[in-house]
Amino acid sequence: MLTRTLVLGLSFGLAAAAQAVELTEEQRAAIEARIAPVGEVCLQGDNCGGVPAAMGAMGGTAGDGAMAAIDGEATYNTACLACHASGAAGAPIVGNADAWAPRIAKGIDELYNSGINGIAGSGMMAKGGRSDLSDEAVMAAVDYMVENSQ
């Protein structure tokens, strides 16, 4: 009886492990909560890091309607650093050329797509979990990471 119970337990455990590859919204929220002490979570409309949400790293517009300069490093520091400086959730660390080489080889458009839309089954959430970022701000952060990882 014990052997049958053990076999059934192992079977269920293996099945659960196989399904653990896909992250649920709850799991993504739990990851975000765990990294919150390290990284900043900023909601649209909030003043994040002293930069108004309509300007700067967010990729919005300046007061005169002209597109504000998008600072890829600033976006990286506020949205990407928590994972890409530590390797959390398997993120390639900025500056590690070996980790970035196969990703860079796929082309910049693929990297932009991964940053903007996330990667299913991984810890890479769309826009790093920062829905307030413009696509252009994410692309600028990707450019910054690539430039510093070759």
Domain that holds residue 73: 23-147
Identify whether 126 is part of a domain.
yes
Identify whether 7 is part of a domain.
no
Q: Please write the tens of the pLDDT for every residue from 83-128.
A: 999 999 899 999 999 999 999 999 999 999 999 999 999 999 999 9
HEC sequence for 94-136: CCCHHHHHHHHHCCHHHHHHHHHHCCCCCCCCHHHHCCCCCHH
Identify whether 117 is part of a domain.
yes
Identify whether 12 is part of a domain.
no
Identify whether 4 is part of a domain.
no
Identify whether 9 is part of a domain.
no
Identify whether 1 is part of a domain.
no
Tokens (6 digits) for 81: 């650093």
Q: Is the pLDDT of residue 20 over 70?
A: no
Could you tell me the CATH number of the domain that includes residue 50? 1.10.760.10
Q: Do the Cβ atoms of 24 and 18 come closer than 8 Å?
A: no
If one counts every other C-beta atom within 10 angstroms of the C-beta of residue 103, the result is 16
Identify whether 8 is part of a domain.
no
Number of domains observed in the structure of the chain: 1
pLDDT of residue 150: 94
State pTM to two decimals.
Answer: 0.57
How many angstroms separate the CA atoms of 150 and 139, rounded? 17
